[in-house]
Amino acid sequence: MRSFWRAWVAEWRHLLRSPADLALLTLFPLATIAIVASIFVGGVARQLPVAVIDQDGSAFSRGLASALAASPTLKVAITTPDAAAVLKALRGGRVVAALQIPPGAAQGLARAQSPVLTVYYNASFLSVGKLAESAIEGAVTATATPALLAHELNAVLPAVRRTLPTVQTSVLFNPQASFEGYLEAMVQPAVLHLVVACATVMALGRELRRGSLRGWARRQRNLPMALAGKMGPAVLLMGFWGAVWLIWLTGVRDWRPQGSIALAWLGQVMLFMATAAISALLVAGAKRVGTALSLTAIYAGSALAFSGGTLPLNGASWLAVGWSAVLPYPHYLALAMDQALGSPPALALRPGAVLLGYVLIAGGVACALMALARRPQPRPASDTHEAAHAAP
């Protein structure tokens, strides 16, 4: 343990003497928590701009436009019969979705026929586009059902009754459809994951001399404990900021998971330990800070995109699925989401074991490379020959 505490104290001394490195582990995480929290504090998306392509010009189509405008989720930005103009607005991002009411929609209702209304949404804004689509469908159903029934009741001859199927949807765990409880739970740990990766690279990069960790490794009696002590402050501080974020999300904003909060926080700490071990391996293998930082940006920067939380991996290529499997962050996210949904703690064993495997394997290989580096290098034969001739 002496090697651990010696490296631990040396790293803290450096952080206290280096305002830039200390700010990376203190002020920067605090700023990211504040920025991400302010972005998602509104939670539910409101007043999404949509367009109405009214090619019918009837009382029914005007009623549909009024129903869309009355929805708290939507804001009718454009009402026009020109479909080309609306498609241009969709491409430009001025609206996120559009409802097309074809000619003869009202006459179709009068004949007890259900008209085909088309909803377009910009897939570049997938989340808000789907929210707008759902709100449009709700407004159409609320408007078309009474109109269809009224036409059937006022018909002179009995028509074939067309009843719309009743669908009851029950949203679990996030009934408000809020971005805060879902996206913030993914974004904030991913940011801290990237911070601890960069901090570990910089901590070990300071010990690089002539492209080798030989000098630092030679001074350590117990290399694994010394490596743990050197990476410990970054992991500890990120664990602290992870706890601060969980207190904000669960205690202040009241987004409490159905499972164990402590287990979710422990998963974060294990993620940070795994990240530090991988970054140590990159520094020991690449032997260059710039190269290690570039590789860190690849594996830690792409973690959120390949986690399966923002974009589904079902049906993705084998390369995308394989890359997601080798990254540590997706395994943490599986653990955290299981606890958010109230899954049994036993389901956390598998992702927890994977994260522990990163710590042991990546950290073990990094220690092995450092142990090889601290061995004395044999002198070239030419230097030995010159030394023998120079001897008296």
What does the block give as tokens for 51?
Answer: 């367009």
DSSP state of 252: I
Evaluate whether 297 touches 354 at the Cβ level (below 8 Å).
no
- Paired with 118 in beta bridges are 100
Q: β-strands 118-121, 97-101: how paired? A: antiparallel
Q: Taking the chain (392 residues) in consecutive chunks of 10 residues, what is each chunk's mean pLDDT?
A: 89 92 92 86 75 84 84 86 87 86 73 70 74 81 63 44 43 54 82 93 83 79 90 94 90 80 92 94 89 90 82 78 90 88 86 94 92 65 48 46
What does the block give as tokens for 259?
Answer: 């499972």
DSSP state of 162: -
* Residue 347: per-residue pLDDT: 87
> 80: helix, coil or strand?
strand
14, 12, 3: which is closest to 235 by C-alpha? 12
- Paired with 50 in beta bridges are 76, 97
> What backbone torsions phi and psi does residue 346 show, to the nearest 5 degrees?
-65, -25
Q: Whole-angstrom Cα distance, residue 102 to residue 299? A: 49
Evaluate whether 96 touches 132 at the Cβ level (below 8 Å).
yes
* Residue 177: per-residue pLDDT: 55
* Residue 173: per-residue pLDDT: 47
Record the pTM: 0.73
Q: Which helix H or strand E contains 218, and what residues bound it? A: helix 214-218
**Identity (one letter) of the amino acid at 278?**
I
DSSP state of 157: S
Evaluate whether 219 touches 337 at the Cβ level (below 8 Å).
no
